[in-house]
Amino acid sequence: MLRISADKRRFSFALIGVFLIAVIAIMPFISKREMHLSAYSDSWNDLSEFRKNLELKGYKIKCITSTPLSLREYNGDYNKTLLCIIGVERPYTNDEIASIINFVDRGGSLIVADDFGFGNRLIKVFGVEFSRCRLWSPNFIKNPSFPVINVTYEGIHYEVMMNEPSTLSGVSEKEILVETDSNCWLDANKNGKRDLDELSDIYPIVASTHYGEGEIIIISDPGIFINDCWNIKDNSFFVMALVKSLVPSESTIIFDESIHVHKMPNHNFVQVMFFVLCNLMLYPAGKVVLLGAAIVLIAPYMRKIKRPVIWFHRDILTHATYHHLKIPELKDEDVLRMKHIAEEKVRLALVLSKDEFANIDESILKSVVGDDLLYDFITNWEKYSVEDLPKIIKKMDEWVKR
Amino acid sequence: MTHLTTRCGAISIFGAMLAVLGTLIGEYEVIAIGVAIIIYILLTFIPRPKIRVVRETEATKAFEGDETDVYVKVENTGIFPAIIHVYDVISPYMRLISGTNRYLVYLRQREKLEFVYRVECPLRGHYVFGPLMIRRRDRAFLYFDDEKIEKYTYFTVYPHIHELHRVPIKTRFIVPYYGTITTKTAGMGSEFLYIREYIVGDPFKIINWKASMRLRRWMVNQYEKESLCNVLIILDAREITGKGTPLFNPLEFSVKATASLSYHLLRTRNQVGLVTYGSEVKAIFENISPHQFDIILNALVGTYASGNMPMITAIDTILPHILPRSTIVFISPLEDDITIYSCVRMLRDRGHEVIILSPSLVDIEATLYDKNTDKLSMLHLERQNKINELRGLGALVIDWDVKKPLSYVLNLVVEEWMR
């Protein structure tokens, strides 16, 4: 068995520990994932313009940073509250979905805008889904990634520039708020180009539905909210019109910031660790990794658990080991052994050498032995079994003592 | 190395689980309880104390069956007080008669623990008292730390020596000094040999008056010359000789017999040597020096049953060094070695008297097994064959029933000769 000294073992554990800490610490920095769609950041792909406009219009802004579970404790006027979920970058847990639904059920309004993120899990509850296929249009600005859609909403015409949008599926006619014109097509096989079977059609991109006492608007492109697109075409007007249709001015708008991956707090190692830990706990795979890490950390600890040996002096002076009586019963091999013993007894009684005894006349042998059973045993020992041995041994004993 | 007890493991994992659970559900009270448990466990951990140990024994040497006191002093020379469990390791071949060799004690700084225990040494051998085991533990027994203090005390137990008066040894090798070994030769001695006619010069005190009156001529008693002889004892120490219990096995009886014979023969001014074989051959050749018995006794103390060397290998090794016509005393249970016959034949051919003292392994096992079986009867018959075969080769074989004392067995043989 391979034996590793205690020092080497300790060194190995230390090495593994340092390696794990290093990997956890470095992992966030080497991550290439971009953070965006935050209402409180001013980057081109964040939502600060949208938030500021809402504030200008007299809306009160709040945000959820930890988890939507906190909606359970919301004690404001549900009818004057709008929850904005724009760009779902992580899957909601069942409890979180239940909290959001409960919020809507009690009269809260909801805007969900997503395209290729994790929003489907939430909106499936309302019977709608994001198709997760790219919408293309011959009408675009700069490049085909930015299709321009002509929208008529509440009798007003808007030109909305979208940003790599998707479409909605499972929407009934009466739920559709906005749909594309008939020149658009969907990249169904996601190969990035138009195929023969990808025909032009009309696709829903904004839908509205009701759940309980609340109303929900689902938009298949969060890009129309971002700072870079805010002032292009009629985006801002269209978005504000949507908001206004749901909640009046001076209502409360809640941004769910918990769905976004935040900027790395790289100035403090503890913060980084806490951040990594929190992010890991948000994903099922992350929880498995955490569990594995916990087991790896606990394993050396568990190895240190030992049952103390009970110290007690006990002498072994009466412990017996046997040579002959290891198996006290007679065995099959003992038949041959007994035959040799009997032969030897007779030979020694006749004071013959082994060679002389081997050539002895049978009649002399028979007369010397003087016992039919013993003579038969010496000459035909093969036919005797171990069961016959006690009888033979007794006879031999008597023969010696005669 | 500090170890955690199962109790500590369970409590600490419970505390950690509470802390994690509290973090997950956001309950600070649960986190606080978990952290408090972990802090308690951390605070209970105290460093290893520094311990100084002194051990003394009443004597450093003893004979089998003797008892000795062992004095142990344990002092906490560190700066921390400690609850310690002290255990002085004793050989499993010793019996603890009184006192105890383990203590659980709370020692403050510079505080001492002194204890004494008494052991009986029923088996010869070289023994070591120690190491002293120290187990530090906390009050709640969450941690323990076993430390081995390499403090040893050496102790030697010599085999018990039986008082012998006569040994059945004869020699034909005349040594020009008077001794106690009969030589079958007329001369000055104490053993009567025959009656002969008076010749001029015979001392008057040996005249047999009764015989002279009956035969009408002067007759004198002739005594047997008693001389000295060289004796080489060959001791079988193969693994098989250790079968039985540590106290009741062929090797132990052989060692006692060797010590007793050597002591008797050396006391009566004979030259005695010793050869042991088992895993290797160890030889102390014949000598009559004043230290010869000490040398033999020390060799016997360190003789243990091991190996499976045949006797022929040992004889081949020592044969060139055996003094001519010396008497060979071979002590063996005669088990599992077919080379014994050729060895005896070889020694007899070279003019050596061969005496075989054989403690019976079959009898030993029968005594321990305490139940008569057919196999035992068969083994007895087989052993008897071996003894007869060796007697046929000219060796004096003494079948030693170990339940009888050695001196009694030897006396029986001498008396048989005299008859």
pLDDT below 50 — which residues of chain A? 1-3, 31-33, 264-267
Out of A305, A317, A337, name the one closest to residue B4 (CB). Answer: A305
Q: Provide the shortest C-alpha distance from residue A313 to chain B (in Å).
A: 7
| CA–CA gap between residue B278 and residue B302 (Å, rounded) | 12
The pLDDT > 90 percentage for chain B reads 51
Task: Give the pLDDT band of residue B204 (cuts 50, 70, 90).
Answer: confident
Are B21 and B113 a contacting pair, CB within 8 Å?
A: no
Q: What is the pLDDT of residues B364-390, one digit of tens each?
A: 999 998 888 889 999 999 999 999 999
Out of A305, A314, A317, name the one closest to residue B247 (CB). Answer: A317
Contact criterion met (CB < 8 Å) for A329 and B13? no
Cβ neighbours of residue A362 under 8 Å, at least 6 residues apart? A379
| CA–CA gap between residue B241 and residue B404 (Å, rounded) | 19
Closest CA to B382 of A268, A344, A113, A50: A344
Instruction: Look at residue B94 and tell me whether its pLDDT is greater than 80.
Output: yes
* Residue predicted with more confidence, B89 or B176: B89
Q: Provide the shortest C-alpha distance from residue A131 to chain B (in Å).
A: 35
Complex ipTM above 0.85? no
Q: Which two tokens stand for residue B19?
A: 């802390």
Looking at residue B167, its pLDDT comes to: 73
| CA–CA gap between residue B408 and residue B405 (Å, rounded) | 5
Query: Best mutation site among A66, A295, A315, A330 for testing chain B: the one with the most B CBs within 10 Å?
Result: A315
- CA torsion sign for B207, B212, B217, B222 is negative
Q: How many CB pairs under 8 A join A and B?
A: 130
Cis bond leading into B122, ω under 30°? no
Contact criterion met (CB < 8 Å) for B92 and A315? yes
Mean pLDDT is lowest, of B35-44, B81-90, B189-198, B231-240, for B189-198
- CA torsion sign for A50, A53, A58, A61 is positive
Q: Report the residue of chain A nearest B240, measured CA to CA.
A: A323
CA triple B211-B213-B219, angle to 5 deg:
45
Q: What's the Cα-to-Cα distance from A1 to each of A4, B356, rounded to whole Å?
A: 10, 47
| CA–CA gap between residue A102 and residue A239 (Å, rounded) | 25
Chain B residues within 8 A of A322 when measuring between CB atoms: 243-244, 365, 368-369
| CA–CA gap between residue A377 and residue B132 (Å, rounded) | 63
| CA–CA gap between residue A115 and residue A164 (Å, rounded) | 8
Contact criterion met (CB < 8 Å) for A315 and B382? no
Cβ neighbours of residue B325 under 8 Å, at least 6 residues apart? B171, B172, B173, B230, B351, B352, B353
Q: Are strands B181-186 and B143-149 parallel, antiparallel or unpaired?
A: unpaired
Task: Give the pLDDT band of residue B24 (cuts 50, 70, 90).
Answer: low
Are B266 and B272 a contacting pair, CB within 8 Å?
A: yes
Instruction: Look at residue B174 and tell me whether its pLDDT is greater than 60.
Output: no
- Give me the mean pLDDT over the B393-401 stretch: 91
* Residue predicted with more confidence, A107 or B44: A107
Q: Which two tokens stand for residue A378?
A: 């010496």
